[in-house]
Structure 1
Amino acid sequence: MFNADQTQSDFLSWYELSNLADKSHCKKHRSSICVKYAIKLLLSAIRSEEIAIELLKMNVIDSRTFEKHFDWILKEIATFNAIPVFNQLKETFPNFIKLLRKSESSAGCTAVYYENDEILEFFLENGFNVNITFDKENKGNALFLACRWGILKCVQVLLKYGAKQAFTHGPIYIYRNIWDPLNLAVKYGHLDIVKLFVEEEISGWARDAVTLEADFFQTDEENAMKEFNEGYSDDFNSFHYAVFYREKEIAAYLLSKSPALKHSRTGEGRSPLQLAVDRRFGEFLVWLAREVDDDLSSLIPSGERPGWTEHDHFYYDHYLLLRGDLTKTDERGKTLLHCAAQHGHLQLVREFIANGADVTAKDADGWNALHFACSYTNFINEHDNSEVVKLLHLTKPRLAKETTNKGETVLHILVSNSYLGHYEEETSFSRETFRFLVDEVGVDLEAKDSKGRKAEDVADNDHPDLWNVLNQ
């Protein structure tokens, strides 16, 4: 991931190194200061391979010191891709390979971090445990981190030497969060590694031809651990992750390998379309509905409308706007433009207006498109609706002057759908729209609804102090 900088180290001259070596290799006894000099000397020299090799030939440290600082030495070798030093250690210390094979050092992860696939391969071909090496700081083992950071060569090396698990959290088995590395590569947007896992024949994994899933739990003991395993859950497959993280190029590639993925459901029964709707990914959603799967039936709630939940209505609004019939309304008098404005889909608002949608249309409650745009709430991502509000006002300035059947202005609706978070940025979405409506549009702050309430009264009633925050 990074290249170690060899130019900023305070290298000692060879003369100084020789003097320190003499100090460190005491003939009569080895004091603590000598040991400190010796190990510091060797660690400083690893980045300059020739010096480190000469020091090892001079026996600057003994076996006991070597074993004590083994992990530290190994990490320095991994940092600087010091293959010659690695080979010299094998010659100098007969127990080196034995220590390497039983080591749980994070040096393998260090090699991945610095993209040093060559030294990683040296570690592994000499018996380093490919599945054990774990980095507590970055919270993952070597395969997990290579997939996360997108280091293809390191992934290939790890697979070559039998890597089977990509896990995070703790090194104790019961607390492991084991991932299918394909899903990890999708999550972090690395198409080249996604292709490797789908097409590779190195690991010997068998993937389902339809879902592209691989079962990494082969023994009864491992199967018993599934309930503790968040990452390797049966909830999402790789295509679901592509939708969830809006990875369009990866999603298209996965579909090219298994077209049936577009009909796959999550463990909770959600369709890919429902996932995209839940994530408020407007452009991705349009691509999914128009180019991948035009079956919108998963967005139609079951049962009669009176029994629908708020989330059912949310799905149905997206069914309407994706259906694309600008001439029709639903039972509430709601238009496609209303739905697109309410849920923050700027691309569709532009498209519907360009295609002749009636911007002035109202639903049965007297709400116009700007009212719906001001009712937008979003707890999922950092997308706000100010651009939709501005576009609608630019298209039809009179919308901001209209009130609903209950006498509500756009400000009444905005504040009743705003929230006061614990942090200032959590209210910033509504604040930008509020300032635009007040400062540029000139909405009347004194206007009252049918209950005699000003927008300020609604705000203070729903969320004390909200008005002051919005009006800063």
Structure 2
Amino acid sequence: MAREDKVKHLIRMTQEGCLGLLREELGKDEGVRNVMLKGHFGSSGDTVLHYAARHGHLEILKYLVEELGTGVELINRDYKRPLHEAASLGHQECLRYLISQGARVDCLKKADWTPLMMACTRKNLGVIKDLIESGASLTLKNKDGWNGFHIACREGTPEIIQYLLEVSPGIWDVESKIKRTPLHTAAMHGRFEAAELLLERCGYKPDAKDSCGVTPFMDAVQNGHIEIARLLLERHREGHAGTIETLLTLGADVHAKDVKGRSALHMACAGQHAKCIRVLLDAGLTEAADNSGMLARQLLKNPEALKLLEGITDTK
């Protein structure tokens, strides 16, 4: 077998976790061993240590590091280290081993992503805990200004968000480079439980705008996450009249209804938001019953808002 073919064969054995064959072949051919230990392979320029960590082969990691002296800080073309691989794929034993061998927990890959950020793209709370307990920083940001908490809110796992708030209670108060908060992120991606938790535990301001003027409520509406939009209306009792005006200028359909036949007027009345009701009426929305026959005005208790609907007839 030609050396190039043998190296390819051994890389495949590394990926498949065949330690016995790998040890045998590398032990009898120094040339192949040198190529394997010093080489960078594939389009990403990975090393054998990257392959072992990515596929979760702890025994091969130990063999490469302890018997062959491979360094744990090897990088590929994206500056990704084996620790990034273990964190991203949720290989907890490999991650613990690499840290025990001196791998830096806050090493950066391309675009300034740390292993903790990579771990937050997954739902493996154990890996996240191991990294933080080993000193990983939750406040470091990538090139877009996102930290691990932003990323966890995008994925939306409540247990992970809860844990991160416990270890760093003020971590919620953060913005990306374009002033987007974790609440924006949860609302945009439809993470209802995450949004609910953020509203319960954190001090986000109603109608907080990013650099483009977009609020979490607008993110929820524009991406079709009506339950999150309703949640934001309920929690921020003063309503979102300014946001509704902005959505209408962007071409939002004021007559749109949800699956139960409820219009934006139903939502505004349920929240007792007189300003929102006025904006909707001025935009041409008329009162109509939902699928159950419920009129928006029947949800009202606010006397000021009730006056706005006086004289308006059911258009169903």
2:124 to 109, 116, 120: 116
The answer on 1:270 being equivalent to 2:245 is: yes
Give distance in 1, aligned partners of 2:251 and 2:266: 14
**Deviation of 1:290 (Å):** 3.0
**Aligned partner letter, 1:238:** P
Match of 1:45 in 2: 52
Unaligned residue ranges in structure 1 (runs of 5+): 1-7, 168-175, 214-230, 302-314, 326-350, 356-472
Question: Aligned ranges for residues 66-465 of structure 1 at < 5 Å?
Answer: 66-68=73-75, 71-93=80-102, 96=103, 99-101=104-106, 103=108, 104-132=112-140, 134=142, 141-162=147-168, 163=171, 164-165=173-174, 167=176, 176-200=177-201, 205-208=202-205, 211=206, 232-233=210-211, 235-262=213-240, 264-266=241-243, 270=245, 274=248, 278-279=252-253, 282-284=256-258, 286-293=262-269, 296-299=277-280, 315=283, 318-319=284-285, 322-323=286-287
Give distance in 2, aligned partners of 1:37 and 1:259: 57
Match of 2:39 in 1: 36
Give distance in 1, aligned partners of 2:40 and 2:74: 16
Structure having greater relative contact order (Cα 8 Å, sep ≥ 6): 2
Give distance in 2, aligned partners of 1:135 and 1:18: 41
**Cα 1:53–1:241, aligned 2, differ >3 Å: closer, same or farther?**
closer
Count of residues paired in the alignment: 259
**Deviation of 1:197 (Å):** 0.5
Query: Is the radius of gyration larger for structure 1 or structure 2?
Result: 1
SS in 1 for 2:232: helix
TM-score, reference length from structure 2:
0.63
Per-residue CA deviations over 1:363-385 (Å, capped at 9, x if unaligned) read xxxxxxxxxxxxxxxxxxxxxxx
**Cα 1:100–1:107, aligned 2, differ >3 Å: closer, same or farther?**
closer
C-alpha RMSD of the superposition: 4.2
**Deviation of 1:198 (Å):** 0.7
Give distance in 2, aligned partners of 1:245 and 1:90: 40
**Deviation of 1:278 (Å):** 2.7
TM-score, reference length from structure 1:
0.45
**Deviation of 1:192 (Å):** 0.2
SS in 2 for 1:282: coil
**Deviation of 1:265 (Å):** 1.9
Give distance in 2, aligned partners of 1:155 and 1:23: 50
2:27 to 19, 22, 25: 22
**Aligned partner letter, 1:155:** I
**Aligned partner letter, 2:134:** N
Give distance in 1, aligned partners of 2:249 and 2:143: 32
Give distance in 2, aligned partners of 1:253 and 1:182: 12
Unaligned residue ranges in structure 2 (runs of 5+): 1-12, 290-313
CA contact (8 A) 2:183 2:198 kept: yes
SS in 2 for 1:283: coil
Per-residue CA deviations over 1:91-121 (Å, capped at 9, x if unaligned) read 333xx3xx32454444333323333332123
